[in-house]
Structure 1
Amino acid sequence: MNTNLFTSRRAFVSQACGGVGALALGAMLDSNANEDANRSGLPHFKPSARRVIYLFMSGGPSHIDLFDYKPVLEQKHGEELPPSVRGDQRLTGMTSGQTSFPVCGGIGKFERHGECGTWISDLLPHTSKIADDIAVIHSMHTEAINHDPGITFINTGSQVPGHPSAGAWASYGLGSANQNMPSYVVLLSQGNGKNPGQPIFSRLWGSGYLPSSHQGVMLRSSGDPVLYLNDPPGITRKNRRGQLDDLAALNRLKFQASGDPEIETRIAQYEMAFRMQAAAPEIADLSDEPDSTFDLYGEDARQPGTYAFNCLMARRMAERDVRFIQLFHRGWDQHVNLQPHLRAQCKDTDQPSAALVTDLKNRKLLDDTLVIWGGEFGRTAYSQGALGSGRDHHGRCFSMWMAGGGVRGGLSYGVTDEFAYNIAENPVHIRDLNATMLHCLGIDHQRFSYRFQGLDQRLTGVEPAHVVKDLLATS
């Protein structure tokens, strides 16, 4: 039998009849009922966060130069990294041929900040001011050593493309709190340094095998926030409303004939687009923001497409209860020219990131907004190429921070060895990070799944993952 692999289960059932068809119908209805039951109990418990703002630093920020202070790196600058520290680590093709691995000291100066005394580099002077509001995790780790599998892994829970993104999972489980905006919105920006960074693919905010209505909607950096947002000349809102009503009626007839669930998604997306025609331009219009806002975020916040502008947009969307807001900022892949490129990235992102946390706090939104900052991995303690030129990818340990949404501020969690190369205490895998994020949203990651290809698929996968309760204000 020539089976169309893209035919939905409901479409198949609608065409089945008698005997085997009836058995298939019963089995599939049971499966759908299980999926619906799986969602109906959400949230599983009272959430500490209503929404997530994920500040994703694409390329792998250097934990060594920003958050993980290790005086021995300065003391042993230029000396060979002990083989016992490096061990049998799998290296990327960029350093696997090196015969020497000289230790490279940090390029910034570290000091303790806040009442908590968190060590933060002077490359991040604004982040230093919110030290008491953030929990810095030093012991993040991942198996991925290259960008595409690394970014795919941390954003979807698998190194293999095709799985739903974290934002899509949140949308699927909790839905939208603002019917005029998508539950998952994505904004992109590019660093001002010379390093263009790794490419960003739309599958990173895709819905995978979840219904496509849960995929992220990317807002554009110039012009209309969304393509074709405005109606053609001569088309009034009343005209458009009538067109959509007629189109929906035709689509419902098609759905009754085929049972394809994507038709329902299409109807919902047309309706969402209609409502967004009024909501999205209003969010992107900063004319109501006072000068004090731009003093806080920096003048770049006036310029669409910049990271600062996107951070301000994130706050405006949080005010309007968008469920999951993700910013991707490219340019953190410092294999060469470490000092100028890293400084440029910090200049672009430090003030807006800290401003976002401060702004949310001042507006009483931080308590129920979970903010996450970090990339797909860290950087090596040894130099790639000439001493001080750059750092290679490092997944054995790296740093991220979280704030708000039930997270304990002023916390430094996890410990690495004296070279910031291996984890010494309290490892946190990226699966644990995702489990903790879902927990803050009121979701038990072990009970939150979607049946696909005969498996109960999860954001945290099938390997062990746990909520890092020490990061939470209340366990």
Structure 2
Amino acid sequence: MLQSASCGFGFLAMQALSGQRVAAADSVTPRAKRVIFLCMSGGPAQLDTFDYKPQVGKKPHAGSVVDFKRHGRSGLWVSELMPETAKHADRLCVINGMHADTGNHAQSFLQLHTGEKLRKRPSMGAWINYGLGSENENLPGFISLNAAKHSVYSSEFLPSSFAGTPIGLNGENMSLATIRNIASDHLPPSAKREQLDFIQSMNRNHLADRSGDAKLEGVIETMELAFRMQSMAPELLDLSNETERTLQRYRVGKKLSVGTCRPTDFGRQCLLARRFAEAGVRFIEVNHGSWDQHKDHRRDLKANCETTDAPIAALLEDLAARGLLDDTLVVWGGEFGRPGLTPGDGKNETGHNARGFTFWMAGGGVKPGYVHGRTDETGARAVEGKVHFRDLHATILNLVGLQHDQLTFHHEGRDHRLTGPEDAKVVSELFA
């Protein structure tokens, strides 16, 4: 069965359709129509990317091991390893006070995506797709590129029609990745439509005896979406109409000679993200792994930055040039950060740090050229402007016009939400 996510309506319409009890949402003025989440799996080293901690004084301490410079009118500090992204410093809204509950990869990665670190729950993309519906009835509302884990695109107890459509699983060659099970030429379109109508008539008859079966309703909607996608999705995945200059800017197909990061063709992912955003996909996750630098921090950090820097800059440049950045929220970050290295101790490996790390946003109504929060002098923990994952989720939902405490779904006797039962705050200081 094709895993996809699209509905021409959001969660209030789902209430009428399936009988699920949801809370009516008060109006929130949306600042963004869609989200592109650049997920850096493994824990990017914040001290060597966007949180500069110079190692100065008579007794050197843990901190940044690469050079930084100020960029743009805002004077934002950016690592020398990200020269192309640095050109967009005045578009970035940097959050240096991020923190999470655990430094374990699996649990923190799950919490980043679903709000909970132990139990499987709907992902952020599924919640946003559920809350807003799709902008384009011929495409999924939620797409995950190069997803390594099901938690990235799962809808869990939400109707399956709001789940993400994975393209390129587990680091497969992105030039060969596609949306499975939508292409066939064994029948002409008219015959395929008749075939689907016959199957759907049986599905709806079955639904008549199972009123309020959200899973069955999701299957019916997914099959309709799969049929509609046949005319549009293959064209979006085909980059042959892009100029050679564009392919070069995104570094499509570029291979690295050093480092241990997987050859995921990150540039192709970013270019596809731009194309899907233009076409009206509501939530696009772009995944890049291998930021878990334990053994050779400097080498692997350089390789990861080299892989992602130019494609991200090209994405921001194109979104701005095409008038999409104003209503597209771009989010960058991973499940936690890393402690700094101390000069002169001979070590070149780092661990995990969930007490203080960095995310950044751009576009979508956030404050440009702005730094929120601060870690201590060694970058070990957030000390000002602290933002937890649940606060990040609440803020992202608010930016797309949803109230986090009212976007709920009734399951197993209670109402669930992305931000969970704990207190979560919208970080309005990030808003332009």
Structure 1 length-normalised TM: 0.81
The reply on whether 1:65 has 2:48 as its aligned counterpart is yes
The reply on whether 1:446 has 2:405 as its aligned counterpart is yes
Give matches, 1:57-206, under 5 Å: 57-72=40-55, 76-77=59-60, 103-188=61-146, 200-206=148-154
Show CA shifts across 1:44-96 (max 9, x none).
Answer: 3220000000000000000011111112368644xxxxxxxxxxxxxxxxxxx
Q: CA deviation at 1:388?
A: 3.2
Give matches, 1:286-297, under 5 Å: 286-297=239-250
Say whether the 8 Å CA contact 1:73–1:104 is kept in structure 2.
no
- For 2:320, what is the secondary structure of its paired residue? helix
Letter in 2 for 1:290: T
User: CA RMSD of the aligned region, Å?
Assistant: 2.3
**Structure 1 CA distance, aligned partners of 2:208 and 2:30?**
38
The reply on whether 1:246 has 2:183 as its aligned counterpart is no
Q: CA deviation at 1:127?
A: 1.1
The equivalent residue for 1:84 is none
**Structure 2 CA distance, aligned partners of 1:234 and 1:294?**
34
Letter in 2 for 1:135: C
Identity %: 41
Q: CA deviation at 1:348?
A: 0.4
Letter in 2 for 1:389: N
Q: CA deviation at 1:456?
A: 1.9
Change (3 A) 1:47 1:172: same
The reply on whether 1:465 has 2:424 as its aligned counterpart is yes
The equivalent residue for 1:197 is none
Show CA shifts across 1:335-377 (max 9, x none).
Answer: 1100110000000001111111111001000000000000000
Say whether the 8 Å CA contact 2:63–2:379 is kept in structure 1.
no
The match for 1:428 among 387, 400, 403 is 387
Give matches, 1:229-244, under 5 Å: 229-231=182-184, 233-244=185-196
The reply on whether 1:211 has 2:197 as its aligned counterpart is no
**Structure 2 CA distance, aligned partners of 1:462 and 1:361?**
37
Structure 2: gaps of 5 or more residues: 1-14, 169-173, 257-262
**Structure 2 CA distance, aligned partners of 1:426 and 1:70?**
17
Change (3 A) 1:362 1:162: same
Change (3 A) 1:445 1:129: same
**Structure 1 CA distance, aligned partners of 2:151 and 2:251?**
31
Say whether the 8 Å CA contact 1:104–1:388 is kept in structure 2.
no
Alignment length (residue pairs): 405
The match for 1:255 among 172, 186, 207 is 207
Letter in 2 for 1:186: S
Letter in 2 for 1:324: F
Say whether the 8 Å CA contact 1:74–1:105 is kept in structure 2.
no
Show CA shifts across 1:18-63 (max 9, x none).
Answer: xxxxxxxxxxx99975735x36x57x32200000000000000000
Show CA shifts across 1:219-260 (max 9, x none).
Answer: 1324461122221x5311111111100000011111112333
**Structure 1 CA distance, aligned partners of 2:62 and 2:403?**
42
Q: CA deviation at 1:448?
A: 1.3
The equivalent residue for 1:196 is none
**Structure 2 CA distance, aligned partners of 1:74 and 1:107?**
15
**Structure 1 CA distance, aligned partners of 2:155 and 2:430?**
28
- Quick check: which has more Rg, 1 or 2? 1
**Structure 1 CA distance, aligned partners of 2:59 and 2:351?**
18
Letter in 2 for 1:56: C
Change (3 A) 1:441 1:235: same
Give matches, 1:323-362, under 5 Å: 323-362=282-321
Q: CA deviation at 1:301?
A: 7.2
Structure 1: gaps of 5 or more residues: 1-28, 78-102, 190-199
